[in-house]
Chain A
Amino acid sequence: MSAPPTLLATTKPTRRPTPHKRAIAFFVAPFAALFTLFYLLPIGYAIRQSLLVIERDGTFGVPTQVFGGLSQYALVFQDQDFMSSLGRMFAFGIIQVPIMLGLALLFALLLDSPLLRGKRFFRLAFFVPYAVPGVIAAIMWGNLFSPNLSPFKGVTGSVDFLGSDLVLWALANVVTWVFVGYNMLIMYSALLSIPTEIYEAARVDGAGQLRVAWSIKIPLVRPAIILTAVFSIIGTLQLLAEPQVFQSFSSAVTSTFTPNMSVYATASIPNSNLAAAMSVVLALITFVLSFSFLKFTQRQENQS
């Protein structure tokens, strides 16, 4: 395994002298060094660890790490808990992300339409939950969902939101509650940057608000929607704090409920080689998903 490539381009010999070389080094070097140390090095180290296996000399022998090829990765894909945590997050993402972004888009369009009064108030009120850290939001909703603490005991007493059937969607609600306003704000600021002249023609044609929203506004804020979608996909696969907190409220949240919880549980065994392989798999899946989503939406855009 070679050392991770250094980012310091200025240390390489250049054909033509670059002007302001020292200033560039001064600006780039600190970030590049830290990025190498705390991003590239851990990635390289995780890959290296994931390729090793523990071997013992007999039952009581000293354990040593030896190269094991992809055998840890084979174990990752045989790990029922890890695979079902991945499946759970796919289900979560397919349902929760469209709902959250749909709501965010609806609110952004309403804020941008002439239909509302008190826009400033709504904008602030919807954004407030984003200031609440995931841990705190999960503590709050854990109480609100609990059958004996909730203000809505009539509901939570008869519907078991924290049972194994619904707890995933109770978590989806926590994430939605926190992030709708944030995504709304991204889309709303994209809507604000559309020049109003564009609407004039539509008005002359007698197009209604719905039609303007559908045919003009939504296509123009596509980049913002795609950005929020990519962030949401990444966020879903990384889910950790909220389910970890929910363990205190619900026995249905196992210690391997999400992929990251699986990584943590495996690392605590301790089986850091397998946990490293899981981290790599998770990072790759995240990367591939968000990247192919970007490519897919770009291609669609080129076609239309």
Chain B
Amino acid sequence: MSATDQSTDVIKATRRGTAARGPRENIMSRTAAMVIMGVFTVYFLVPIWWLLVAGSKDTGSILTTNPLWFADFQMFQNIGDLFSYRNGIYFQWLRNSVLYAGLGGAVATFLAGMCGYALAKYRFRGREMIFNVVLGGVLVPATALALPLFLIFSKVSLTNTFWAVFLPSIVSPFGVYLTRIFAAASVPEEILEAARLDGSGEIRTFFRMSIRLMSPALITVFLFQFVTIWNNFFLPLIMLRDESLFPVTFGLYAWNTQLNQLPELRSLVLIGALVSIVPLIVAFLSLQRFWRNGLSAGAVK
């Protein structure tokens, strides 16, 4: 190796964890890595940039001006139009989505957390059977359930109601799986025994202590379920006729299908899409830490 007289450099490079094969190839592979990541940054962000620009234009200039740069900046007027269109139906959709996904995700997490905790911390007959059935549930595609759910719900006149989308959303087999693994690893038996000696009931112990120890997994399950419900398409498609019950993504889909008859909807679809993803992106990026921790817990098994 020609680098013997530059041994300090080599040691430094080795400490940084790079290959000690001399600096030249190093720069090349660094550059290659940066180029790859740079190109894909463009790929991932340009569509969102395009949506941001398109959301700032009126229907006419969307088609005629440079799609990747601002022309007439009227985003706020577009947002105003969006929220006033047909008596604020868009706001209604946003509200519905927050209820379906926010409330539904919270209830789903709570129920799955309790079940996963019991499966991890207590021995009882049928425990493994329950866990295996639930695990099978993780592998059953949710969309395979949409049609039979529709047939069942139509027997009890629940189709085209809030409950038709809400009720199936509060069951999360994946949540049971993840919280069981997490509870088994992070809620020590000694703490439960100590609580028992102090005379604390099992349920009280769960709500006062265990739930806190499980919080990283619970946040992950909530985020997962929130996204799943927010993105759910088949259930609203098959269950809902009344547009005042639509979640926002399904409402935007409905507008998008009407573009041929009502071309002026184009700017509303685009600004509506933009307005609906901004809170999601912000929430995601700020909660990313929790995702990562929870995801790695799930990936260990």
B241 located at the interface, meaning its Cβ lies under 8 Å from any Cβ of chain A in the complex: no
CA of A126 to CA of B247 in the docked complex: distance in angstroms? 26
Residues A39 and B295 in contact in the complex (CB < 8 Å), given A115-B30, A177-B44, A238-B141:
no
Stretch at the interface among A73-81, A160-168, A278-286: A278-286
Q: Decide if the interface of chain B is mainly helix, strand, loop or mixed.
A: helix
B86 located at the interface, meaning its Cβ lies under 8 Å from any Cβ of chain A in the complex: no
Q: How many A-B residue pairs have CB under 8 A?
A: 305
B218 located at the interface, meaning its Cβ lies under 8 Å from any Cβ of chain A in the complex: no
A83 located at the interface, meaning its Cβ lies under 8 Å from any Cβ of chain B in the complex: no
Residues A287 and B140 in contact in the complex (CB < 8 Å), given A131-B284, A149-B67:
yes
Q: Is the CB of A234 within 8 A of B141?
A: yes
Q: Is the CB of A135 within 8 A of B147?
A: no
Name the B residues within 8 Å of A180 (CB-CB): 44
- B30 CB to nearest A CB, Å: 5
CA of A20 to CA of B143 in the docked complex: distance in angstroms? 37
Name the B residues within 8 Å of A131 (CB-CB): 277, 280-281, 283-285
CA of A25 to CA of B280 in the docked complex: distance in angstroms? 36
A264 located at the interface, meaning its Cβ lies under 8 Å from any Cβ of chain B in the complex: yes
Name the B residues within 8 Å of A38 (CB-CB): 145, 149, 167-168, 171
Q: Decide if the interface of chain A is mainly helix, strand, loop or mixed.
A: helix
Name the A residues within 8 Å of B137 (CB-CB): 35, 39
Name the B residues within 8 Å of A10 (CB-CB): 124, 126
Q: Is the CB of B257 within 8 A of A141?
A: no
- Chain A stretch 179-205: residues in CB contact (< 8 A) with chain B: 180-181, 185-186, 188-190, 192-193, 199, 203
Other CB < 8 Å A-B pairs besides A28-B130, A125-B44, A241-B231, 5 of them? A7-B126, A30-B114, A133-B230, A133-B280, A248-B260
What are the nearest 9 A-B pairs in CB distance?
Answer: A9-B126, A23-B202, A208-B19, A27-B118, A42-B148, A151-B67, A241-B233, A283-B144, A31-B115
* 29 contacting pairs across A/B (C-beta < 8 A): A31-B171, A32-B130, A34-B167, A42-B148, A45-B148, A46-B145, A110-B33, A114-B18, A116-B37, A125-B44, A128-B45, A131-B283, A137-B47, A140-B50, A140-B273, A144-B50, A185-B288, A185-B291, A189-B292, A189-B299, A203-B14, A234-B139, A238-B143, A240-B233, A244-B237, A248-B256, A263-B143, A279-B144, A287-B136
**Chain A residues within 8 Å of B, Cβ to Cβ:** 7, 9-10, 12, 14, 18-21, 23-24, 26-28, 30-32, 34-35, 37-43, 45-46, 49, 103, 106-107, 110, 113-117, 122-137, 139-141, 143-144, 148-151, 177, 180-181, 185-186, 188-190, 192-193, 199, 203, 206-209, 223-224, 227, 230, 234, 237-238, 240-241, 244-245, 247-248, 260, 263-264, 267, 272, 275-276, 279-280, 282-283, 286-287, 290-291
